[in-house]
Every structure is written in structure tokens, then in C-alpha cells.
Structure 1
């Protein structure tokens, strides 16, 4: 019986990653992410999966970002009771991110009910903080490079992917097939995270394509960040920086600490980290020395450079502080969290700045800001945008197109098929085209909900000028919706 992959998320979009692998009546999920961004994507979170959660034998997380792990509380709430496998750092981050996600959803639902701007009466959270705490009991940890058996007869192994703490690529062996899931790949020159490990040999590869059609600039984040913060400080304004609580917040803190140490920013410039989730995550770096580039002293400097505001009262007090300041607050695409209140307070003043620090998924408020809109809807109100909007091109924690290709080229042998996922359609299809034309490997961008068998025999794209093989020699791929 063939091994099948069903793409229940992360297909044609940079969100909601869920890959259902099935073989001989058993199945597991690789990643269990929330859909974010456009409303029609977010509505998928409330649609039932095409498989009963109780029939899924295990979940294997590549990393803790919510677009890869945030559906887990709902999966468990609806009947999943298997083990969730993750690296130790991913487990530690999930303990922060998932309860916080549930808490924010409860807060947002309560706020919508109080203000009456929801179309639903009452507005209900997708899951609660309690649901998230319950699902954490299912997590089991395994270290990078150690083989484990998520289901009887199935073998898996994690390898480092860079990107964020604990992030991994996953090699899954079942039914005589080796399937490699890239997870989100980091940059080899990242300021915080180690370079991704070289990939192992595989029959099929599922590769992310967030930046599949783009290259990162040669300029580093310090060279971009310094003039932007100097500019807003000189005019006495506030820089509101929506940050991803895991990874981006720490990269920015590390960069600001370096700029202050070098004299490129005034040492007295107030910096606030206004995100309990980001604060807790920052503390994990000292507990996971050796899994990133920072030493103990640099971890301490990263924590000392900002005032950590944990309570709602401390958060509100930031607005009462006069003069220039920098506010780092989640979420990174301005989809929720405390950053919305800071944006509502500061968007209307031309002295201020909004500093976008990474990829902004279409349909998010961050994408609206990046697109040059004159207004932003927050909590049912349209806020005029007069602040300067700056998007850092060098702060991404994702590999760019050439770095993704380099990772694929490092495979010991050509795979039989490459599935290009976790990207907007333009990015995914551009990367697919490069894989086929530059490497000569069969590649496709799967549709949401589609199912594909792992090819039983070698299959390759014929390079220009080379004779095509007949179907009996080239092999075939089975697919079903």
C-alpha cells in the first residue's frame, strides 16, 4: 500500500501547516497549525478536519510558531489523544505560546462582546487557555538527531532547521519510503540562530517557500534598523514595532543592544518589550545555550536593553511616558495582542513610526500597513495612518529563494518528488519552477486538501534537449482529492 500525504494546510498559503501522512490504516500529522490572515483562511480553523481527530495516531511538530502548532489545543479538545512529539525547546516554547494564544482569543472575544462589534452573538474563542494547558500534557520530547517511533513501524528523526529555538526539519520513514519535511528553514547567516543542518536523503521532500520568489538584501539588520530609529528619535516620536514573540523579538533586542553598545543609538533611548510571551521567550535563550549563536553575556545584554512590561497596567503606563521611545510588542503581523492598542494610540501622529520586521501575510493588518493604506481597522474602528511606515527587509528568519535552493542541492541524491508548500502562490510556483529547471527534479504546488502518493519509482523532469522517457520508465504519481 502506498504512503499518502494529504495537505490539510500550508498549501498555497503561508499559514495553517498540517500534513496528514497515511499508511495501512495509520496516520499522523506533521505540524498542526492555525490559519491566519485573510478571513476566508481563518474560517478554515472552524471547519472540521476531513479525518476524525481521534483517528490521528500522533502529531509531530517541526517548531512552535502558531501557524505550525496553534491548532493543537482544538485538535485535542475535539478528541485527539495521541502523543505530540517535539524537540525540548519547541516544548518549552509551546508552553508559552499555546496558553497565551488561548488567553488572547478569550480576551478578544470578551472585548468584542463588550464593544458589540462582532457579527456573532456571543463571540466565542476558538479555544481557551484551559484547552491549551490540557493539550500540553500530550507533548513528548526528543533531541535533534535521535531516532524515535511515533507509531509502530514508523521511524522519525529531527535535524536542525535554524529559524527559531527548537525548529527542526523532520525525516519520516514509513512503508519503505523516506519523506523529508523541511519545516521553516532559517538563514545560514542569521544573527541569532545556527544555520540549518544539511538535509538527509529522501524519496520525497516537502519544502517551505515563504520567500520562494525573493532574495534577502545584503544589508544587515543593524544597517537598516539604526537610521530608522535615529530618525524617529530625532523628531521625538515613538517607534511601534510589531514583533513575533518567538525569534523576531529577540533578534531586535539583540540588535538594539548592539547599536547602543556601539553608540549608534543613545543609551538613554527608552525601549519597552510589551509582550509577556516575548519576555518569557527571551528568558529561554539562556536555558538553551549551544542551540543558538549567543553566549551567556549576550543573552544577558538582550534582556537588559529593554524594560519588560508584564502587566496590563505597566503596558498602559508606556503611553504616559513623554519623549522618544521604542515599543516592541506582539503580534508580528498585528493580528492581535497588545500591539493593537499601541498602534491605535500612535498611528495618527506623523512623528511616530511603525517598524515592520518580517513577512506580513496577506489579509493581516501588517500587510495593510506594508501596502500603504491610509487607514487601519482596529477593534471595529478605522484609524487614520499618519505615522511613517518602515518595513525591514533584512530581519526575516526565513531562508530566501537561493538559500532554499542551496539546501535542496545539499541532498545526497535527487528525490522522486518535491512538494512546495507554505508560501503564497507566486512564491511557491516560482520556487517550483526553479526546482524543475535548475535541478531537473519533479516538483508541484499541492492544492489545499489534495492527497498525493509518494512515487513508487524514480521520476524526473527531462532537462532541455534530453530525450523524454516513456511512462513505463519514468514512473508515475498517484493523486486523489
Structure 2
């Protein structure tokens, strides 16, 4: 970027606006460009199609990508960015780098599968159908990762630096403070909660001029945890000879579900039936959690190492191969199956749903936020049939929502986190939420904190200094 006589820093909202996916925030600074998060759009088709739009700036002009955490809606566009010319360093915590490798390789596999399916079914208007990116793009992207130490200031360019602080959302998640000359911008990423069983709560915000904060649950408050909901659902299902299917995100959600199920078995609140983890991605993530807990560090609670060791309990069975997964479509005995994805958008869980939803003996347990346009959202809203692999499947199984596993802060928790800032920022930009959630949080920030808060528009550009 060419310097002007009076250089001005600016931010453009390229994603994560009007929806909970696709987070991308572009910083134009006097010495170049920095992209905070490179998320993939998921959910509604109108959102997913945006992944194919030409990127608003030449990716080769971006000097750095900074990642808040490993989830696909914050990292999943990165291989496409690399395919189109980005070649700079990708900065994030060590654990985010480890988990992102798992997430992105799985995403490339799904992209390639989707393209092959579109070709075979002549569904695509292109011949041959191409994936958004492939495994080679992912490997090129992974070679750009340059992990940073939490809490340390990292120089990105002259007068531009960044600091990552624990966000308590998933392993390795962080808020990012970007310093541009005298200006300070804080990106919340996805904020965690105070009672995550493995991770410490989010670190308080530092003194900054601008805050970009998520609003996934900005219009509601999480109910108090009720362990009886999950326990009762499991007991009912086992008593009628059925099995429990838990669509769960491979990163963090599977770990939390396992911890809770093992506690319920240990306290004899549910029968001791086999628990199958049927997701290669989740099994790989479990190993990252094991290694990280063994190393320790400030992001973990004191008891985390002992809890993570419990993942190897004799009742937990890892399912690595396709043949083993197929056996779980019609289990030979009552059991619990945990499989990705958490919103039932893809992966092995779709095969299990197709076979198990028509059986009234079974139960599907939804354990977190279900975005618009996903099968999980359809099940949560009571749809009596869902489309899987081109065919409609009747929903006769019981569907139970258990919100206790959410690791997103709710509206009140986000307000409390913001209120601990040393001083009021000039502006708070509320992003990464459906419109009702984002606008509700803006209203609360203005009325309860007295701060200027805005829901930006897609593509909107604002000055930072």
C-alpha cells in the first residue's frame, strides 16, 4: 500500500454480518492489509453461495491473516484465499493451528466430495464441477501457519502489532487486540462462558478504541443447566430399546458431551451403555485436547488434565473406519452415538439420521446453536421430515434440545464481559449474529453501558483512527 501524507486505518466488514458465519474483517493499515478471520459461509444457500463470490480485494495484497480460533466459520475460507494468491503468514495460537489442520483437511474432503456428487448427478452448471478448494490448497495454507504465544505482543509491520488473549470458547480460542499506531481494535472472535469444564473464562477486555464483538446469542439468556434433560432423554430411550444419536461439533462439543455422559454414568443417573464416537475429525481433535492438557497452561482449569484423561474410559469406543460406522446405522443394542456435524449439515451423522429418524424408539439430542438453513434447525423447530442425500426422511424419533453445552456467551454474559473494559471504547461493532440477535445486543450496549454500538452492513467500511 502506498503511504499518503496522512495515513488512515480503516476496517471493512467482508463477512460475519447479518449471519453467524463467514467472519472476515479486513484492516487497511498504512503499511498494508491484515485480515482478521477467514471464515466459510454455512447454513442457508443464499449465504453459502457467497463463498464463490470474487474476493473484494486481491488476496495477494493481504500481508497477514489473524485467526481467533479454529472453527470453520472463522477459518474455512483460508485455502481459497491461498488458491487465489494469499501467501503471507497466518498467525494464531498453537492449539488453533493444530485444530485448524484437522478442520481444513476435513473441509477439503467434503468440498471434493460435493464436486464429485454434482458431477455424477449433473447437478452443477459447470462441467466438470470444481470444489471451492481441494486438499492441495489446504496443505499450502497449513504451511503458512505461524503460531504465536498467548499474551505476547507480535509485530506484524512497522507500527502494527497484535496480541492474542484467552477467549474460553474452544481450545486455543482467543480475542485479538490489533494495534495500529495509537489506535487499538479488539476482536472478540467467539466468546466463551465462565463455566466451561476444561477452559478458563475469557480474559477481560483491554483498553481499546474499537470493539468488534460477536452476537450469536445476543438476544437471549442461556437457561440454567438442567442435567435431568439429557439424563431423562437417555433413560427414556434405553428403556424403549432405542439408541441416542448426538450430532456434535467435532471440536470442543464432542469433548463436552463425553464429559457429561461419563459423569451421568459414574453417578448412576443413566444406564452404562456403550458410547461410540463416530467421527475421525472428532477423534483427531480429542488427541489435540489430550496433548494440550498434558502441556497445561493458563487457558485450562486446574482439573482439566484429569478430566481429559477420562476420555479413555472403557465404555467409550472410537469408530475409525467406514465399516464400523455403518454398523451404527442400525445398532445391535441400545447405545449412544456421537457423530459430526453438530448442525447435521454433513459427515457420517447424516447416514445415522437417515436410518434412525424413522424409528420412534430412538432419540436425537441437539446440543447447541442450530443455524438457519441447517437440518439441525429443522429438527429443533419440529419439522416432520428432512431431506438427506436427495430423499425425504420421516422424523418419528424423539428430538430433544439440550442447551447446556453452548460455549457461546449469551447476551448478558457478553454485556458483563464488555463492562469490565477499563474505559468505554469509541464504537462497538456487533457482528456474527442473525439480525434479531445483533440488534438486540446493540440496544443493550447502548442502554446498559451507554456506549455507541452499531450493526454494520455487509461490505461497509469504517475509519479506525
* Same structural fold, with TM-score higher than 0.5 when normalized by the shorter chain: yes
1:73 and 2:100 matched = no
Aligned to 1:156: 162
Alignment map for 1:328-407 (pairs within 5 Å): 328-407=338-417
Once the two structures are TM-superposed, the CA of residue 134 in structure 1 deviates from its matched residue by: 1.5
Match of 1:283 among 267, 281, 287: 287
Which secondary structure does the structure 2 equivalent of 1:288 belong to?
Answer: helix
Once the two structures are TM-superposed, the CA of residue 223 in structure 1 deviates from its matched residue by: 3.2
Mean CA deviation greater in 390-399 or 302-311:
302-311
1:312 and 2:311 matched = no
1:299 and 2:308 matched = yes
Match of 1:258 among 249, 263, 276: 263
The TM-score, its normalising length taken from structure 1, stands at 0.91
Q: Distance in 1 between matches of 2:190 and 2:372?
A: 18
Once the two structures are TM-superposed, the CA of residue 133 in structure 1 deviates from its matched residue by: 1.5
Q: Distance in 1 between matches of 2:178 and 2:248?
A: 32
Unaligned runs of 5+ in 2: 1-6
Which secondary structure does the structure 2 equivalent of 1:31 belong to?
Answer: strand
Aligned to 1:187: 193
Match of 2:430 among 393, 402, 420: 420
Which secondary structure does the structure 1 equivalent of 2:251 belong to?
Answer: coil
Match of 1:177 among 161, 179, 183: 183
Once the two structures are TM-superposed, the CA of residue 238 in structure 1 deviates from its matched residue by: 1.8
Question: Residues 88-145 of structure 1, C-alpha deviation per residue, up to 9 Å, x if partnerless?
Answer: 0001101111111101221233244445555655443211122112210000011110
Which secondary structure does the structure 2 equivalent of 1:188 belong to?
Answer: coil
Alignment map for 1:215-254 (pairs within 5 Å): 215-220=221-226, 222-254=227-259
Which secondary structure does the structure 2 equivalent of 1:82 belong to?
Answer: coil
Once the two structures are TM-superposed, the CA of residue 382 in structure 1 deviates from its matched residue by: 1.1
Q: For the Cα contact (< 8 Å) 1:85–1:150, is it kept in 2?
A: no
Aligned to 1:431: 441
Aligned to 1:31: 37
Query: Residues 123 and 189 from structure 1, CA distance in 2 versus in 1: closer, same or farther, beyond 3 angstroms?
Result: same
Once the two structures are TM-superposed, the CA of residue 24 in structure 1 deviates from its matched residue by: 2.2
Once the two structures are TM-superposed, the CA of residue 25 in structure 1 deviates from its matched residue by: 5.3
Query: Residues 111 and 316 from structure 1, CA distance in 2 versus in 1: closer, same or farther, beyond 3 angstroms?
Result: farther
Question: Residues 406-434 of structure 1, C-alpha deviation per residue, up to 9 Å, x if partnerless?
Answer: 00000000000000000000000000000
Once the two structures are TM-superposed, the CA of residue 153 in structure 1 deviates from its matched residue by: 2.3
Q: How many residues align?
A: 453
Q: Distance in 2 between matches of 1:34 and 1:18?
A: 9
Query: Residues 174 and 14 from structure 1, CA distance in 2 versus in 1: closer, same or farther, beyond 3 angstroms?
Result: same
Q: Distance in 1 between matches of 2:381 and 2:125?
A: 26
Q: Distance in 2 between matches of 1:241 and 1:4?
A: 43
Q: How large is the RMSD of aligned CA atoms in angstroms? A: 1.4
The TM-score, its normalising length taken from structure 2, stands at 0.95
Once the two structures are TM-superposed, the CA of residue 390 in structure 1 deviates from its matched residue by: 1.0
Q: Distance in 2 between matches of 1:323 and 1:81?
A: 51
Query: Residues 444 and 69 from structure 1, CA distance in 2 versus in 1: closer, same or farther, beyond 3 angstroms?
Result: same
Q: Distance in 1 between matches of 2:203 and 2:369?
A: 23
Once the two structures are TM-superposed, the CA of residue 6 in structure 1 deviates from its matched residue by: 0.3
Which secondary structure does the structure 2 equivalent of 1:103 belong to?
Answer: helix
Once the two structures are TM-superposed, the CA of residue 9 in structure 1 deviates from its matched residue by: 0.4
Aligned to 2:278: 274
Mean CA deviation greater in 290-299 or 399-408:
290-299
Match of 2:115 among 109, 119, 126: 109
Q: For the Cα contact (< 8 Å) 1:3–1:175, is it kept in 2?
A: no
1:40 and 2:49 matched = no
Which secondary structure does the structure 1 equivalent of 2:170 belong to?
Answer: coil
Q: For the Cα contact (< 8 Å) 2:197–2:304, is it kept in 1?
A: no
Once the two structures are TM-superposed, the CA of residue 297 in structure 1 deviates from its matched residue by: 3.2
Q: For the Cα contact (< 8 Å) 1:417–1:441, is it kept in 2?
A: yes
1:97 and 2:103 matched = yes
Which secondary structure does the structure 1 equivalent of 2:430 belong to?
Answer: strand
Q: For the Cα contact (< 8 Å) 2:40–2:75, is it kept in 1?
A: yes
1:21 and 2:30 matched = no
Aligned to 2:4: none
Q: For the Cα contact (< 8 Å) 1:2–1:175, is it kept in 2?
A: no
Once the two structures are TM-superposed, the CA of residue 315 in structure 1 deviates from its matched residue by: 0.8
Question: Residues 423-481 of structure 1, C-alpha deviation per residue, up to 9 Å, x if partnerless?
Answer: 00000000000001111100000011111112x5xxxxxxxxxxxxxxxxxxxxxxxxx
Q: Distance in 2 between matches of 1:244 and 1:26?
A: 36
Q: Distance in 2 between matches of 1:318 and 1:62?
A: 35
Question: Residues 299-357 of structure 1, C-alpha deviation per residue, up to 9 Å, x if partnerless?
Answer: 12123342111111111122353221111111111111111111111111111111111
